[in-house]
Structure formats: C-alpha cells, structure tokens
Structure 1
C-alpha cells in the first residue's frame, strides 16, 4: 500500500488544499499530520491567544477528517524529527506541504528535505496555499521584489491564478500511526476573554455571513471604528482555515466596490510576504532606515507602559489598546492610530510596539505585523514616511459620536461626543472622579520632537 504524509502548518483546512489533494492522488492512504514544533514555542510565537485559536483549529480539522473516514495525527517535538518518525511508522513514500516564506520556515523546510532525501523519501512543496500569489511570481524589471504597493497590486491583479480545489470526500488514514489528542482551549491560561473561535467551520460560516451582510458596504464602512464592519477574517487567514485564493475568486465573482476593496486588502498580505521573502532582515531591522535614535524601554518606560495599558489620556488610543487585550484583535484603523502614536508622537522604537502586538494579536504574523509597523514608523514601504496621524482628528473622523471610545473606555461613558475625544478640555471636569489620566504628551510637542529627530538625520 502506498502512503503519503500531508504536513499541515499554516493551512488548517480541507477546502482548497492542494497538498492534501496531491497526497491523496499519489497514494492509497494519507497521514494528515500536524506537529507542535518546539522551535516555534522556543521562539515565542506560541502565545496564549494564538495557541488557543490553534487548539480550536486542530479540533475542528480532526472532526472534519473524521467525517471523511480519517483523523488528524498530532505530534509534539522537533518538526523534522517527528515528520521523519511518522514517515517511518507509516512506510510513506513522500511528504506534501505548503510553501512558507519566512526565513525560519525556509530553514525548517530545507532541513526536512535533506532528512527525507537521506532516507530515500521525497518532499513536495506546493505554492499558492497560504498566499494568493507567491513571492517572486510577479516582480518589477529592475528588482527581485516590489517596494511600493500600487505597482505591485497592478501586476498582482493580472497574475495567473490556480483553480481552487474542492474538499475531499474521503481521507483514508492507516491505523498504525498514532498521535496525541488535540489540545483544548480551556487548558490554556492567559487567553484574552473575548478571543473569537477558531477552525475552518467557523471561518467558512463567517465568510458566508459577511458576504451576505457586510461585503457590499465594506469600502464605505471599513474605517468606521464603532461599526466594527470589517470582515474579521485575518486570524483565519493567518492559520489558513480559509484559502486566500478561494476568497479572492469568490469576491471577484461577487463583484462591486466592497468586494474589490477586500481583494485589495488580501493583496497587501501577499505584498508584505514578497517583501519579507526578499528581505528577511526586515523582520528585525529598518527596511529603509532613517537612522532614528528611538526612545526605548530604558528611556521611555512610563510612556510605553501607559500605551500598553491603554492609559495614555487619548481616548481612541486607549480604547484600541484595551480592545487588543480583551479580544486578541484590533480594528485596522485603530492599529494605524496606535502605531503612529507610539512611533511618531512618543518617538518610541517600532520594534517595541511590534513585539507587544505579536504578544496579543491572534492574527499576529511576522510579515504583516512587522512591515505594517515599519510602514507606519516611516522606515518601511510608505511613500510618505513623515506622515503623522493625529489621534484626536482621526477619532472625530472615524468615531464621530464616540461609540467606539465609550465601548472600551468605561470611564468616559457619561461624556458625549465630541468632548469624549478630548476630555481634558471639559469645563469643570472632576478628574479624580473620572479616574481617567491626563494626556501623557502634548500632541504638538510630540510632533515637533519627531520632526526635529528626522530632520537631524536627513
């Protein structure tokens, strides 16, 4: 009997899964395998929120496989060692997996390939599984990657697309390969109280609901903080419970400005991955350095802690930072505002903010997170690196009646808009009774500090 192994990583689904389809076509039976990689945990990526969401995903994947006569084999340890053990136990001929694009994943993939080939087995890596258009598939004539989004998007939109594949009806799994039971969310401590549920079933339900009630208005409502009208699909894309290829194709069939705006956001994911695939060091160092002498944990500890705790005295910033801890997620407009406030108003190193986001975001992703932070900090791909987002002006524009602020900052529930965005201006304000802090920085002073710092470098 010919057996193949399909290694699940950031592609925890059955719909539109080319590695699984290829493994089934190549063999009489398949071992669907997921490995809790100790190296991922040691690197700090297995945070409570992402571990809890992952637990949901694996439980759901196992249930879906059992509906098709199979099961998920879960192991823990060094990924290469555990895959090779499973290959030996199943006497498998080949392993199929999705391509990954980070430096860490690339090194791991190469280790696995060498180990399998040394034992006479083969590794097949499939592209366009965790992205819609793989890094390197569209490039400018003068470089190995695009450094500006708009020309990238034009070529990305014209790229050749593979057809989405249906979920298999049956997945036969050999009996002799054993695994451990998937972890339960309830066994994980430190999880955000309102963390959403994970898993392919949940992701597909969310897509169906959003296509019916939210997609058409997406272009008009995606920046409305109070409306909470974004798709909230980012965590499912991060864990691969949804296929970006399938989402783009479904959105294009649906049509309209809302669908096109969503497609554009999916293109941003691929844009950041092609940047990081070409410049692995951009996860840690400036993509386009401004030679900033940032404030750090040592020189700005009190300001940084106020930002983390949502106690800056700027209501929209504090609302966003509290939403992050409560839900493990933050509205995209709020991500821009909080990042701009930290890096440009407080002039704190973008890596401090990026690390905090990675600690809490369930969709925390090296490419998107680090490069979005650099975009806002002015060290990345933004063509206007000196732009500064004023939190008061932005709050009045994107939360005009203060609903978002009052949702997350209960100290201000009794304050009406527009005063809720500038409570320090309220006449006769009893600050002690309000229990809300004064602003930790004057916006004009923060702006002046940032501009003087950048001017010195330029």
Structure 2
C-alpha cells in the first residue's frame, strides 16, 4: 500500500486541512509528521514554543481518535522528512504552502532532495484564505496596495471547506519520538507571559464558536476600543494553523457586523502575498524612504519594558509582556511611538514583538511594522499616531491604561493619560522619556 507523508508546519489541525485531506482521499497510508528543528526553536519565542507544545499534544489526540497518530522527529526538517519517507516507502510528500524566507527555502530544499528519490512533493493551500500567488494584478506578481487587493480578494472564488477525516491509516511499525513537554520552551527567546492563552485546535475551536456566537456582531463598533477587548483573540490560533483561515472567513462572512472582521482576514492575506514576492520583509525596506534612524539603546530598553512615561504606550507594552498579545490599536500606537516619535528603526520594534508575541508571524508582524514606519505598503508613508489623542479617543475612561499600568490606578482618566501634568502623579511612575507630541524622529528628551 502506497504511503504519503503529510508534513505539518503551521497547520496544526485536522479540520479543513487540504494536504491531509488529499492524502486520505487517495486511500494511502498516511504518515502525519512534525519535525522539531533545534535551529528554529532557538530562534523562536518562548511563548510560541509553549503554544506549539500544547498544539502538538492536541493534534496527536485528534489524529489518534481517528485511528492515526502524529509522528515526531527532532533535527533538520528536510533531512528527517526524507528519512521518514524512505523508511515508509512513501511516494509523495504533502505540505501546506508558506511564504516566509525560511519556509520558502525549506520547500525548495525538500523538492531538491526528493528529485533523486522519485518522490512527488506537493504544496497545498491552507495558511491563508486565498493562496498568496492566486490573486495578482495585471502585469505584476503581487498587489502593493491593499484596497485593489481587497477588491480582487472579495471577487475571487474561494475553495470549498474540507471536512476533517473520519479515519486514517498509518504505518504500524514506524517509531516516533516523544512529544515535547513544557521544558522545550526554555530553548527559546524572550519572556514566558504568565497570562498567555492555551494552544491547540480544541481550545481554538471553542474560541471560534464563542467569537461567532457572541463577539463578531460588535466587532466593527468596538474593535478599536482598547478597554473593551472586543477583538477575536484568534490571531495565535491562525498563526499556528489550529484554525483554518478559510473556515473562519466562511463562517464569519454574511453574519451581522462581520464585514469589518473579514476585511482583517484579507489584510492578513495581503501581507502574505507581499511576503511571498518579497521574502526579505523582516530585514529590508519594502520601499526605501531614505529615513535617518536614531540609535537609542536606553530608550529602546525603556520602550520594551513599558517604562517610557507615556501611559498608553506603556500599557500596550506591558500587555504584550503579560499576555504575549497586544490589542491591535495598541500595536499601532506603540509602533508609531518607537519609529515616528523616537526615530528608532522598525526592525528593533519588529524583533521585540516577534520575540514575545504568541501570534508572531513573519508576514503580518513585519508587514505591519513596515506599514507604520512608512517603508511598507501604506499609501500615506508620513502617517503618525499621536499617543495622547489616540488614548483620549480609544481609551476615553482610562480603563486600559489603569489595567496595565497599576501605578496609575488611583488617577482619573485625564490624569491617567497625562500624569506628568498632574500633582497626583505617582512617584514610582517615570516622567516621559521625550515629548510625545514633539517633532518626529528627533530622539530628543526634553521632559525626562
């Protein structure tokens, strides 16, 4: 009986999984495989490794409940995949297409390694709603501006949603390494957030049902309000593929108030198609603006710690450290403060986010950082977010600030947003490291 290796990467689920579905449909023995590459783990956030450990455990349980299993290997992904294919006599390798530089390199190396073994390597959709290379403008390889992409994305015919397999057959004599435990996270970088959410397809699908039943209707109205926490909290589930973005989009589409949320899924796809064409997005300016950046090691450290003395910025940075997550509006405010007000290079901020975020995704994280910094896909490259006005508009009662900056808990809203102008400013809360309404990118520190 022929065998097909299904290499799981950022698609840790059984529902709507095209690569797995096709292997089962063919009637082959299926070899669900995940390779833990120590090189990748050393560069990963501890928060994401913790989520990964939980997601792999959940995936193995889902596969075993269907007669299968998840086979685990440690080492280089291509080497171990080829070794498993040889042991099982597999004739095909299936995996989901991904866009990051490392993912594209892995896909190329896997194809090259398989050439001499008469192995068919096939990539499938599954990481995005619309595959990155499926919607392109006339005369170009990708869309550089969101609005025309959004129109094409909406008009595109989406693939059908695929059911989870009822049964699958796996080799009986293939050994598997133990699933990793929580100690694996110690190999990674950054802090381990005490309030991060649990990983895995089962809790992700519970969050999905809760969001669709009681959250999405108020998204357009409340998603920017920082204290309301009216966002889906599904970003990490999408990043690890514990939820299918296509299934989420199909489930959401047409529901009351869902248009604004579905548009965010299109933004996610937009960044992925940009990264597919420009895999250097995490290090190179997508559009050069000839910006002069400021070197500010001390200021960067204070920004990272949520100690800038600008409450709305500090609240966002502390939410990130506490939860491994940050509200999207706070991401814009904190990123603009670092790049536009402090004048620090966008890679410094993008790298910190990537070191802490559970949902850290190359395309979305760095695509958004470049958008804010003016080097990316924003059609208004000089856009700035004034932190004080943003606080007044999106945290009018000061609730978000007081939630994450407890030093300010005893102040009213105006004082919580402007504590340096209040006689009641707590002594333990720092003065601003610079004027939040001062000239962009000066790096000056007139108030600290």
TM-score past 0.5 threshold: yes
1:293-348 deviation per Cα after TM superposition (whole angstroms, max 9, x unaligned): 2013xxx1111111001011111110110110111110000000000000001010
Which runs of no fewer than 5 residues in structure 2 stay unpaired? 444-448
Rounded Cα–Cα distance in structure 2 between residues aligned with 1:241 and 1:25 = 21
Q: Give the equivalent residue in structure 1 for 2:4.
A: 4
SS in 2 for 1:322: helix
CA positional deviation for 1:136: 2.4
Q: Give the equivalent residue in structure 2 for 1:331.
A: 327
1:29-75 deviation per Cα after TM superposition (whole angstroms, max 9, x unaligned): 21110011234235x1x221110000011000001111111111011
Rounded Cα–Cα distance in structure 2 between residues aligned with 1:340 and 1:84 = 45
Q: Give the equivalent residue in structure 1 for 2:264.
A: 265
Q: Give the equivalent residue in structure 1 for 2:365.
A: 369
Q: Give the equivalent residue in structure 2 for 1:440.
A: 433
Mapped pair 1:145 → 2:142: yes
Mapped pair 1:175 → 2:163: no
Contact 1:38/1:79, CA 8 A, preserved across alignment: no
Contact 2:408/2:426, CA 8 A, preserved across alignment: no
Change (3 A) 1:187 1:114: closer
1:207-265 deviation per Cα after TM superposition (whole angstroms, max 9, x unaligned): 1001111110000010011011100110011000111111111111x423x21111100
Change (3 A) 1:367 1:92: same
Contact 2:407/2:426, CA 8 A, preserved across alignment: no
Contact 2:293/2:441, CA 8 A, preserved across alignment: no
Contact 1:4/1:27, CA 8 A, preserved across alignment: no
Instruction: Indicate the RMSD between aligned Cα atoms, in angstroms.
Output: 1.6
1:347-375 deviation per Cα after TM superposition (whole angstroms, max 9, x unaligned): 10001000000000011111111110010
Counting only pairs closer than 5 Å after superposition, residues 11-30 of structure 1 correspond to structure 2 as: 11-30=11-30
Rounded Cα–Cα distance in structure 1 between residues aligned with 2:145 and 2:28 = 46
SS in 1 for 2:442: helix
Mapped pair 1:429 → 2:430: no
* Structure having the larger proportion of residues in helix: 1
Rounded Cα–Cα distance in structure 2 between residues aligned with 1:90 and 1:218 = 48
TM-score by length of 2: 0.95
Q: Give the equivalent residue in structure 2 for 1:109.
A: 107
Change (3 A) 1:430 1:8: closer
Mapped pair 1:93 → 2:94: no
Q: Give the equivalent residue in structure 2 for 1:456.
A: none
TM-score by length of 1: 0.93
Contact 1:323/1:330, CA 8 A, preserved across alignment: yes
Contact 2:94/2:121, CA 8 A, preserved across alignment: yes
Q: Give the equivalent residue in structure 1 for 2:278.
A: 279
Change (3 A) 1:65 1:103: same
Q: Give the equivalent residue in structure 2 for 1:205.
A: 206
Q: Give the equivalent residue in structure 2 for 1:288.
A: 287
Contact 1:6/1:32, CA 8 A, preserved across alignment: yes
CA positional deviation for 1:431: 4.5
Rounded Cα–Cα distance in structure 2 between residues aligned with 1:69 and 1:176 = 14
Rounded Cα–Cα distance in structure 2 between residues aligned with 1:444 and 1:357 = 24
> 359-368 or 140-149: which moved more?
140-149
Q: Give the equivalent residue in structure 1 for 2:152.
A: 155
Counting only pairs closer than 5 Å after superposition, residues 226-241 of structure 1 correspond to structure 2 as: 226-241=227-242
Which residue, 404, 407, 410 being the options, matches 1:411?
Answer: 407
Q: Give the equivalent residue in structure 1 for 2:446.
A: none
Contact 1:3/1:92, CA 8 A, preserved across alignment: yes
Query: How many equivalent residue pairs?
Result: 440
1:393-427 deviation per Cα after TM superposition (whole angstroms, max 9, x unaligned): 1011111111111111110010111211001111x
SS in 1 for 2:121: strand
